Amino acid sequence: MDAKGQRGLGRLLRSFRFAARGFLHTAGTEQNMQLHLAAGGIVFAAAWYLPVDPAHIPLLIFLVGGMLALETMNTAIERTVDLITEDYHPLAKTAKDIAAAAVLIYAVTAAVVGVWVFYEPILQMF
């Protein structure tokens, strides 16, 4: 049976390996992903250090995880567009711009929620 028709634990583990390879490639080559990883580390360090409401921790996990997932998808879209055409094409540019806009919208939303989560704990320090 070929890999496409294969089922079971082996196929599942192979899928996880491919996903990890994709994440590591993105983390190693994309400056924006590196920025998001650093920001996520800062968010979790701040949540550990500051008196953040424990009920907000799942929200922070969701926001950081979503940001990393969306940046990974943006990178996949960029690579796919580059594979289809290396020549400049307005539709290719638009596709890349739209994917980048999705990342920006999520990043701004995450920042606003982050301010909401950290505002009181930061004020309590002073």
Query: On the CB side of 46, how many CA atoms lie within 13 Å of its CA?
Result: 18
71 is in an annotated binding site: yes
| Selection from 113, 120, 76, 124 nearest residue 96 by Cα | 76
Identify the structural domains of the chain with CATH numbers, from first to last: 31-124 (1.10.287.3610)
Q: Is the pLDDT of residue 1 over 70?
A: no
Which range among 6-15, 88-97, 116-125 shows the weakest confidence by mean pLDDT?
6-15
120 is in an annotated binding site: no
Catalytic member of 71, 75, 99, 110: 71
30 is in an annotated binding site: yes
User: Rounded CA gap, 6 and 119, in Å?
Assistant: 51
Q: pLDDT at position 3, please?
A: 59
Q: Region 65-82: what's the mean pLDDT?
A: 98
pTM score, two decimals? 0.89
86 given a catalytic annotation:
no
